[in-house]
Chains A and B, each alone.
Chain A
């Protein structure tokens, strides 16, 4: 149980274009999802907390107008990287926890490797 599906797993896009990444909880409802970014040989850095039916909460230094988050349902959150640049190339990972079970850990999606050329 507690599966989080993330798509696409890998995307290459041209500089200046936008990319949408989907994160779905398959067998549970997630009122909150988290988006992380990981650069090579570095740890996961929290970008934003996605809340169902309300605006996302962004971490300091993360541009909310560049990284658009939508959490329209209890099973789907999307991250759109707008006007992507090569420095946005990274590994993006979403995570969620079953409702009422935050203390038991978070399930991660398989991640999206974004390469901006």
Chain B
């Protein structure tokens, strides 16, 4: 059974702080790793994807991947109230569907 684990939260951070979201996965064959953001009642939207070990930065977001530890993280710098949402970690191997974690709820207070 392929699993993706996330802390459900809620994770509460003040505005302007760094939010750190973590994810572990069980399938060592996983090749692609994604972070999606989902607002209540809406479908997920892609924030970032990463394939290689290390860091990948895109604006205020940084994804980190450690395949040896089967660990993916997402850092959100200068958190804003509009970042309050559920963040879903998802992984896939070549040609397979995304497997999602249960998501971490982030709350950014102003």
Measured CB to CB, the residues of A under 8 A from B are: 6, 34, 42-46, 49, 91, 93, 95, 102-111, 113
Contact = CB atoms under 8 A, between A and B. Distances in A.
Interface in B26-66: 31-32, 34, 41-46, 49, 51
A87 B88 CA distance: 24
Contacts of A43: 88, 100-103
A42 B102 contact: yes
Contacts of A46: 97-99
Contact of A110 (B43, B88, B95): B43
Given A42-B102, A43-B101, A106-B98, A93 B43 contact: yes
Nearest to B95: A102
A108 B38 CA distance: 11
Contacts of B94: 102-103
